[in-house]
Amino acid sequence: MKGRSILLDHLGARKAAALMVDGQLDDLLVEADAPAPGTIYRAVADRPVKGQGGVFLKTPDGAAYLRQAKGIRQGETLTIQVTGYAEPGKAIPVTTRVLFKSRYAIVTPHAPGLNISRRIRDDDERDRLLVLAHEGMEGEDMGLILRSACAGADADDIAADIAEMRTMADTVMADLSDHAEVLVLGDDPWQLAWRDWSDPAEIVQDPGAFDTHGATDAVAAARDARVPLGAQASMFVEPTRALVAVDINTGADGSFASGLKANIAAARALPRALRIRGLAGQITLDLAPMAKKDRRGFEAALRAAFRADEVETVLAGWTPLGHYELQRKRARIPLSEVIG
């Protein structure tokens, strides 16, 4: 099936959204029990972590951890936002640099200024959006970013989005109560799909959409560690307690170029494999054998693949043993934890 489809359905009792591109599962969002990234709390400072410059905070959903928190006194109240999912047994990761994010607009209370997404390059379109930004934020000290989805979008829709995010930001930032409370819930998978999957696509929300459009089978296949790479090559993506191990194999192909071909194919397939499985943290690639002179080509393919990926990923580089390492933000909950 050609084209893009966004499927809004359930996996078991959990809301889920699947992005299908040319009949292949390209992204998957599944509702989790943990607080969703984007959730905003009023939290109470608990105790600092000596030597690390961080502090634990009390929230209605348990302990949170704020890095680089010098000068915060015990008992002080702060407005914080969840930045990702915590590892099992650890505190919720949060920041004080709160963002109010929607499909078209991001209001930034701590970063004044009006900005247009760099992906929008047409000068006339940038000028149109800048006018909307000035009108929407007139008399406001907070900042605004207009996202790439604004390109070609209806002016009234953009203006309404700016107004909604501005009102929400004004309300939350003006709240000076002194007890822990949930101020804004993070988006669920259906809301996230509307917010972030902004390229043109068919929206399917009929009951059983996952079954009729192949997403159920694709999710079942993602439970397997093996990812086919075409021809005879494959990679195995396996989470351990400490890291995610990625093993790339050429299969029975013993040709001189087989290692480089398998590694390039793995670089292109890796972002999608990690997104669907919800895997992050430290990622170590055990590559198929290839000459050192081919490393630059592999790195270029890897950079290009992750450039289009929404989840923040740092390409750390090579280890002395010839492995390649990445560090990826925990923006998703592992698929194995939400569907069992």
Task: Report whether pLDDT(189) > 90.
Answer: yes
In angstroms, what CA-CA distances link 278 with 115, 328, 333?
31, 11, 5
pTM value is 0.90
The answer as to whether 182 is a domain residue is no
Same domain, 89 and 105: no
Q: Are 101 and 92 in contact (CB under 8 A)?
A: no
Check residue 49 and give its pLDDT: 82
Mean pLDDT of 272-295: 95
Check residue 323 and give its pLDDT: 96
The answer as to whether 85 is a domain residue is yes
Number of independent structural domains in the chain: 4
Same domain, 260 and 317: yes
Task: Report whether pLDDT(256) > 90.
Answer: no
Check residue 52 and give its pLDDT: 75
Same domain, 83 and 145: no
Check residue 212 and give its pLDDT: 94
Same domain, 243 and 200: no
Same domain, 89 and 170: no
Same domain, 94 and 104: no
Averaged confidence pLDDT in the chain: 93
> Looking at per-residue confidence, does 249 or 254 come out higher?
249
Residue 171 lies in domain: 100-176
If you count them, how many residues does the chain have? 340
Same domain, 294 and 255: yes
Same domain, 105 and 20: no
DSSP codes joined into one string, 112-154: -SEEE-TT---HHHHHHHHHHHHHHTTT--SEEEE-GGGTT--
Mean pLDDT of 208-234: 93
Mean pLDDT of 217-229: 94
The answer as to whether 185 is a domain residue is no
Same domain, 67 and 22: no
**Domain containing residue 55: CATH number:** 2.40.50.140
pLDDT tier for residue 193 given thresholds of 50, 70 and 90: very high
Distance CA 262, CA 280 (A): 22
pLDDT digits (tens, 9 = 90+) for 49-58: 876 778 999 9
Task: Report whether pLDDT(254) > 80.
Answer: no
The answer as to whether 189 is a domain residue is no
Instruction: Name the burial class of residue 89, with classes exposed (0-12), middle (13-18) and buried (19+) by CB atoms within 10 angstroms of its CB.
Output: exposed
Distance CA 287, CA 58 (A): 43
Q: 218: left (phi > 0), else alpha (psi -120 to 50), else beta?
A: alpha
Which residues have a Cβ under 8 Å from the Cβ of 6 and sit 6 or more positions away? Answer: 17, 18, 19, 20, 193, 197, 201, 202, 203, 204
Same domain, 13 and 54: no
pLDDT digits (tens, 9 = 90+) for 136-168: 999 999 999 999 999 999 999 999 999 999 999
pLDDT tier for residue 340 given thresholds of 50, 70 and 90: low
> Looking at per-residue confidence, does 86 or 284 come out higher?
284
**Domain containing residue 303: CATH number:** 3.40.630
Q: Among 83, 98, 113, give the residue marking a domain's end.
A: 98
Check residue 303 and give its pLDDT: 96
Same domain, 331 and 276: yes
Check residue 309 and give its pLDDT: 92
Check residue 2 and give its pLDDT: 81
